[in-house]
Amino acid sequence: KAAASPIFLVNLIDSPGHVDFSSEVSSAVRFSDGCLVLVDVLEGVCTQTQTVLRQAWAENVKPCLVLNKMDRLVLEAKMSPLEAFVHLQQIVENVNAITASMLTGDALDGQIEHDDESRDAQYWEFSPDKGNVIFASAVDSWAFGIPQFAKLYSQKLGVKEAPLMKALWGHFYFQPKTGRVATKPTAKNSKPMFVQLILDNIWAVYNALIVENNQERMLKITSSLGLKVPHRELNHPDWRTRLQSIFNRWLPVPQAVLGMVVRQLPSPVEAQRSRLEKFWTAFPAASNKNKQNKNKSDDGDAADDQELARLGQLLANPHEQKQDEQEQEQEQEEQ
């Protein structure tokens, strides 16, 4: 029998991205083990994007990148798949420029230790071929990451998944006749593999359903993708409902987003080990003592366990500490 798939429990905290809600973002980051940074692909990197990334950096919370509102590139900007690819590359580069500036700033200030993996450049680099970037359209109910298509095309093309992951992002060109991947275009109409194998298919769905409103072509596309969409949904008068019914079955959002969370973000046990000294002032600062505390068994000192429980209560209710101090003052006055 095949081994059962592991089950993961993921708690999501949705915090507003508007600048007026920066305090809510700070609170959410403090309680989280990892975070998803959403960027509007049409607007690109904004000031608030930098603020959120810096908050994640300050709290030592590992981020993943979600490039949302991809539908706007098709319907509003009227970009071709190749133009959209160049635009997406620029956004990823801009985000990496922000994280690189934070890394350089802390390094110059001497705030980064040599053995601190969470402050490594590779740790904070976003790249779709690493699996920490996904592309999405929340309004049309679809999202995908490079790992999904690498797994799909590795079976179809008979290519190993690992090298295909790298080839699906960047300037790599697939040659159907030879079945090889080239680093330079072999013809005038050659397209990068990300465009040829992914974006072209997504754009084809939008064109067939919205631009051309061609029902026959839409049926061919769903058939080629192996999708079983009920006719009542394909014939729905609302075009967005038809889009969602197709994309929901082809590129479901939970599979892409939660899959990236499970693969890329640390578990609570791993995340809190590196973050504990950030918000617990009593935590030993010396690196040797830190390692001893990290490796401490579950049968550790009961007093330390009580302190950790107390810490959680204070974080959950910041006013409790003031109430306790007032009660102590009243007891002293009565005595």
- Above 70 in pLDDT, residue 22? yes
Spacing of C-alpha 15 from chain mean position = 15
Q: Which residue has the tokens 């740790």?
A: 123
Phi, psi of 18 (to 5 degrees): -70, 150
Instruction: Count other Cβ atoms within 10 Å, centred on residue 268.
Output: 12
Among 69-73, 317-321, 322-326, name the one with the lowest average pLDDT.
Answer: 317-321
Among 28-32, 33-37, 244-248, name the one with the lowest average pLDDT.
Answer: 28-32
Q: How confident is the model at residue 275 (pLDDT cuts 50, 70, 90)?
A: confident
Both structure tokens of 237: 């008068």
- Above 80 in pLDDT, residue 83? yes
Output DSSP code: residue 298. T
Task: Tell me what pLDDT residue 5 has.
Answer: 76
Among 33-37, 164-168, 280-284, 319-323, name the one with the lowest average pLDDT.
Answer: 319-323
Instruction: Quick: pLDDT tens for 98-145.
Output: 999 988 877 666 565 545 555 677 888 999 999 999 999 999 999 999
Task: Tell me what pLDDT residue 177 has.
Answer: 80
Q: How confident is the model at residue 279 (pLDDT cuts 50, 70, 90)?
A: low
C-alpha distances (whole Å) from 272 to each of 55, 60, 276, 308 are 16, 10, 5, 12
Query: Looking at the DSSP assignment, which residues form a beta bridge with residue 64?
Result: 36
Question: What would the mean pLDDT of 51-58 be, rounded to a whole number?
Answer: 90
Q: How far apart are the first and last CA of the chain?
A: 71
Which residues 6+ apart lie within 8 Å of 180 measured at CB? 174
One-letter identity of residue 97:
A
Instruction: Quick: pLDDT tens for 288-308.
Output: 444 554 554 444 455 555 554
Instruction: Count other Cβ atoms within 10 Å, centred on residue 28.
Output: 20
Nearest to 67 by CA among 268, 262, 260, 265: 260
Most confident among 24-38, 42-56, 249-263, 293-307 (mean pLDDT)? 249-263
Query: What single string gives the DSSP state of each residue in 135-157?
Result: EEEGGGTEEEEHHHHHHHHHHHH
Query: Looking at the DSSP assignment, which residues form a beta bridge with residue 38?
Result: 66
Left (φ > 0), alpha (ψ -120 to 50) or beta: where does 69 sit? left
Among 139-143, 206-210, 316-320, name the one with the lowest average pLDDT.
Answer: 316-320
Instruction: Count other Cβ atoms within 10 Å, centred on residue 97.
Output: 11
Distance CA(158)–CA(151), nearest Å, equals 10
Q: What mean pLDDT, rounded, does the chain reach? A: 83
Tell me the HSE value of 159 on the side-chain side, using a 13 A CA sphere. 22
Distance CA(18)–CA(49), nearest Å, equals 10
